Structure 1
């Protein structure tokens, strides 16, 4: 190759490279522009040569106008109309602006140039990006069609005052097919028919009830399984109020087969917000006022009802002290966040709890399949008694030597309980229940320490009386210092004498709890059924 030809080739190569460099530089420079390339449209609106801000403004105005378009809704001879914006239309302006600007800017530089050229020659329509809120559309349609819609009626169990169970049948409701209407609206918008007097035809549909008569019959609730009643002092208004609040929380509760039930979970915290008031409760082996006093009587009444229905008890605790409203061994203490009464429905049918509080009684009833009803008795045996202590406390308000019982003592007990199950009058099963231990409650005696003024005396009597008084005071002071009550009375344990009961030679007694049985007889164990002087209700 001669030198002239070689030079020409080099010059041509340099020219080509220079041209390509210039070309791709121009392509790259154009891609950095903030403007949409010519030929890009949305629903016929040309966005070419517009900045992203300008294109956004144009599409926002389009969205506003489209949102004001109305759609006619027809249903069952009725009609209504709604603006698209009110029906939940949302046009995605930002997404479409970004899509328009990205055309001709994706891929390598050659690909970008080819796409820009094709768009400039043939145009590029960007699909309308939008969404319709299903929730908002449904709200509009429900409001518009409320005159033709009918709510379904679930089947219901009615428990009468006579303790019979009635089943009220269900009924279908009438509704509109909102999902089909929603699909119709989306199609109108996609096909750009929203400016052509668009209409949606809603279809009426049947609405099935959530619970039918057949569903309830499968639950096997057809009558009374068991009932139990306890008494309380109707004069203790706060305590009675608390009993009513807790009983109301239980009323109507349904427990399905295999389901576990927690008293605390259903009744909830014993707080002022929940409506509870101050009343006596047991805390640290003492009776003190606190929120929710009396709730334990509700749990105790429920516990005995469950026993008589032969329901499986999962958790039960006795009170730390004796309570008066049930026999020993048959109470169930609860405290929110602590002791609980739990049971599992071990029967093949559902259970329904009904509660009532009237006068000085609370009654809990358990309804279920009466074919499962059995005769059940609870037998409690006191296996050990624990005497109470007599505590003497000085009281400066009482005259010296005078004594007043401030708190009566109650013996403690260890009790075992059994559940006896009968069929046809024959004992078929004897089941051991959880044992109970009740601590004794100290008897507190206040002893006066207030000095008694000496009576005026005359003549020679002064010396004798002074001597007697001095001797008595000295003796009493010595007794006080020795930790003994004055006037020669013994201290320490004295529960047998104070209650008039003989604690020797009688370590085991039985208490046959037959007042309430599974046939629904209402027995009323009262304070007379518990031994000794009972403390205030817990």
Structure 2
């Protein structure tokens, strides 16, 4: 009986342990009901599930149409000031999203939102809906790429980031030079970058990212090459000869011990090195030049010419135009022949009088010595350094003795250097019967320059008579007009700081030209007496013939002589003015 009782008790106890508490049953029932409700809600709800957003735009509970309007209204602020940032090697590049995004794809964005909770198995769907209800489900906003804008932005980045290896650079201070190690070349897959950018734009994903790159070797520091470029005397700032405005910065003088620098650099593994240097300041800095460029007239000279002689005036004007605006930086040399060029018909030059071999001839470019001579006069007064100058064989009428400069392309040139500390500019103009040369630059003192020429010797021309059997006795014809010759010395008279000194500018020798006169030697034909009847007729004929011959020869000789003298004199004057 006791045993039975024990078993019964045990049996009762076991039954009691298997009972499920009422609370658990209730909870389970509630969960089951919730799951059923959620499942029903998931499969039966017609709109976008509550809590779903498109990006940060709330569209939960909306119909697809209403959601599309919401996205259209509120999407622009999401990208208006946004940027795509990508790092390539050690540089970050930003692309404004508004430059590469054509528009937000409202339809696709709404479809993305509507798809939340509607894909996958039932549990996955319900899980997505549950997350949306607590604000943890964001649908991807979609956009259309501006292909042209993306191409332009990417090309700009590629031009900067896709690089060849960069050579070492350096900065020069007062007593040290810092050498910066070079940089490796950077390569990357531009097509892959474009594809990734397009994907990020379509998904409105503006998170920064780093581009995978391939680097090429960094150039080694070549101290010998650096020394070759850096070591040198100071060079003042200059001006561009192309536009006459752009200032080219100065370069300080630098010296350093190459072997010491080599030791400091060692294996070249550091990013930078400091090298001791000795520097020398320049005379003219860029700032100084900017304030003083072409501010002063150093000299201006003019000579006269006859504008009615159109071929010669044409040549003078062409040469002047070629010279006008020429800029010489300090130390530069001017060459008349190089600047003006060859005087040819093809370049517009006309035949005009010129000296050649002691004679006056007509040649293309006759007259171009007047611009060279006028410029020489200005160069003397600007106290510039003349490196080549030749006087004419005969004197010229348009310059004082000793102040002319003849030129002959390929043979004789007129050259001078800018020996000032600042750039100079030559202004040349032929106008109103004048050839004007102006040299502008920068005055650094109160210096003025004048000229003085002394005649060492005068060569008086002689008259040379030559016989001409074609002219009647007693008739003469001037064939060559005379020109007086001289030997001279010309000085620059320089006044500066109240003191005056003279410097020899040149010595010149002008040859004389003798006057050549042709004297007639032809005697009249003898006459034979005749009978009155016959003689009358014969005398009339001889008289007519004699008159005719005499008048003809006399007229011809006279006209020829006068014309010859006038022609020679005119040619001589033209040549003097032109040569």
User: Scaled by the length of structure 2, what TM-score is found?
Assistant: 0.45
Indicate the structure whose relative CO is greater, using CA pairs within 8 Å and at least 6 residues apart.
1
More helix by share: 2
User: Scaled by the length of structure 1, what TM-score is found?
Assistant: 0.48
